[in-house]
Structure 1
Amino acid sequence: MAVVIERADQLILNYVSKAADAAHGVLSADQRLDFAKRLRARIEQERRGSQNAREVVRVLERFGDPAALVAREAHRLAERKPAPDGTAVLPKVDGTPGAAHFPAIRDDAVLPPSAAQHVRLARDRLSRRPGRGMPLAGLRRAVMSSANPMTTEGRDAVTIAREHPRETVAMALLLVAALTVPFNLPAVAIFRVPVIIWAIGAVIVLVSDSWSLRDRLVGISAPIVGYGLGGVVIGGLRVGSAAGFDGFFTEFFNVSGIMFMIGAGIGVVLLAYRLFNVS
């Protein structure tokens, strides 16, 4: 349950961070801080206490592009009129002058033509602005530039690695185990180096609660199944029925390492896919 709550909260934090990052150069520091606080409050209001990650994603989809929210906020601030004493007066919201103004969402009223034009201009300005804020923000935006962030729940490989460091290390170890097979490294005691590395990664996978038990068992057993069953089947097909046991074992060891590598790759792909879609 704690993992699910952390996942839902992280989605909101990521979304608000993107909005704050988009506000650089558009809003002043104080305006940006106030905007982020009110945006978070509005999201929490629409969230209604839900800890379901998919429900939170649907809420964030209703808010739309963070850059558009920044543009609306900039337009709202530009329309503020100075009072006779020089102070700023907020426009009326729900009939109450100076009431807290939350960023609009897609369910709100359609923007008037002047505001819509302001949104387009702000988006053009933001698209030309170099990446700031989070580390590797430019690279992250480049990787995700062709995708709808809400389609992937606002996540990419960097985000997943930061949120699940232990699981990322485990998958990396499984890949390293596969990549060391062709080097035929000397055995440690009676164990081959790829097997040792695989065993360490398998233990980390088994103790993780980010995958179901079934996914964990399939992910770590894929290399071994590939090595054993794949080696037997492919080796048997290659040697035929007339070569005897010596020929069979020769072909088995020729192909079993490759099958171990293929199995490890399949296992890591499955684990990564399940981790990406964890709820």
Structure 2
Amino acid sequence: MIERADQLVLNYVSKAADAAHGVLRSDQRLDFVKRLRARIEEERRGSQNARDVARVLARFGDPKALVAREVNRLAAGASGSPPTGPGGLPGYPGADAASDGSTVIFPAIVDDAEPTLPPPGVQLGRKVAQERLAGRGRGLSFAGLRRAAMSSANPMATEGRDAVSILREHRREVVAMAILVLSALLIPFNLPAVAIFRVPVLVWALGALLVLAGDSWTLRDRLLGLGAPILGYTVGGVLVGGLRAGGQQGLQAFFVQFYDVSGVMFMIGAGLGVVWLAYRLFDVN
């Protein structure tokens, strides 16, 4: 989602601004933050993919280290000595200092230089290894769920996909799933019908509209999540009702058993549908 990618950038820049507070003058701090944001956007190249943006930010490193480098550069510029990088190493990039102690060019990050492309076989091997580490290869299924379970993890380490950030940034989807669960929980109460519709059906329809209006799931995922309670009510009710009717004769006996079990089958189907939607939200989106 675009909002999640932008939020990663804002969070990173905010951490850098907080680290610079009390260390740099207000004008230096504003200049530093402005150049940092501009450089991130340059490296981001317009990407709205949260995983790509997380990789870009990871290349910049710890925001506190960037502030320390900025302080070191400003100190070197004020003393007139050659600029130094972390640990006092000479040749710190982006050393063009203005008269007010700020720089026009933001320091280069570690991998600014374009590396020489390895042979195609090496590229393929790296791609396969990266896919396996990302959970798309064999033996690492449900990797998205494992990352989502790291609710207290650093979003940079989990590529912005920890459970808390996903739930916060998909509030409409969370509300939709909660309404679907509520529709199932209302089944045992046997509430009076509204016009010709039962209350759980109306609540489920509201949740279904929210699911269909969302863009965090594919159409297939939405249809599976919403179709599960319908299949449970119809197919499950027919099968279980027929088995319970057993040797009893007539349609009346069958319908009695059908209405006895169809509500429970709807609840089971709704639960499975919500589980599927939650899985796809965490593991795929």
TM range (shorter): 0.5 to 0.7
Separation in 1 of the partners of 2:270 and 2:191? 18
Q: Choose the corresponding residue for 1:47, options 34, 37, 44.
A: 44
Partner AA of 1:242 in structure 2: G
The residue number in structure 2 matching 1:260 is: 266
Separation in 2 of the partners of 1:162 and 1:221? 26
Separation in 2 of the partners of 1:151 and 1:25? 20
Partner AA of 1:37 in structure 2: K
Quote how far apart the aligned CAs of 1:162 are: 4.6
Q: Does 1:149 align with 2:155?
A: yes
Query: Equivalences for 1:146-225 in 2 at 5 Å?
Result: 147=153, 149-150=155-156, 152-225=158-231
Quote how far apart the aligned CAs of 1:230 are: 1.8
Separation in 1 of the partners of 2:284 and 2:236? 30
Q: Does 1:69 align with 2:66?
A: no
TM-score with structure 2 setting the length: 0.64
Query: How far does the alpha carbon of each residue in 1:118-177 deviate from its partner, in whole angstroms, 9 at most, with x for none?
Result: xxxxxxxxxxxxxxxxxxxxxxxx9632x3524643144554455444333322221211
Separation in 1 of the partners of 2:12 and 2:48? 21
**CA RMSD in angstroms, aligned pairs only:** 3.7
Query: Equivalences for 1:226-237 in 2 at 5 Å?
Result: 226-237=232-243
Separation in 1 of the partners of 2:154 and 2:96? 37
Quote how far apart the aligned CAs of 1:195 are: 0.3
Question: In the superposition, relative to structure 1, how do residues 103 and 156 fare at CA in structure 2: closer, same or farther (>3 Å)?
Answer: farther
Query: Equivalences for 1:235-246 in 2 at 5 Å?
Result: 235-237=241-243, 239=244, 241-244=246-249, 245-246=251-252
Separation in 1 of the partners of 2:236 and 2:76? 77
Separation in 1 of the partners of 2:225 and 2:266? 12
Question: In the superposition, relative to structure 1, how do residues 267 and 151 fare at CA in structure 2: closer, same or farther (>3 Å)?
Answer: farther
Separation in 1 of the partners of 2:214 and 2:198? 25
Quote how far apart the aligned CAs of 1:193 are: 0.5
Please say if residues 19 and 64 of structure 2, whose CA atoms lie closer than 8 Å, have aligned partners that are also in contact: no
Quote how far apart the aligned CAs of 1:78 are: 5.2
Gaps of 5+ in 1: 1-6, 110-141
Please say if residues 16 and 63 of structure 2, whose CA atoms lie closer than 8 Å, have aligned partners that are also in contact: no
- Greater relative contact order (CA < 8 Å, ≥ 6 in sequence): 1
TM-score with structure 1 setting the length: 0.66
Gaps of 5+ in 2: 85-90, 98-102, 114-148
Quote how far apart the aligned CAs of 1:262 are: 2.0
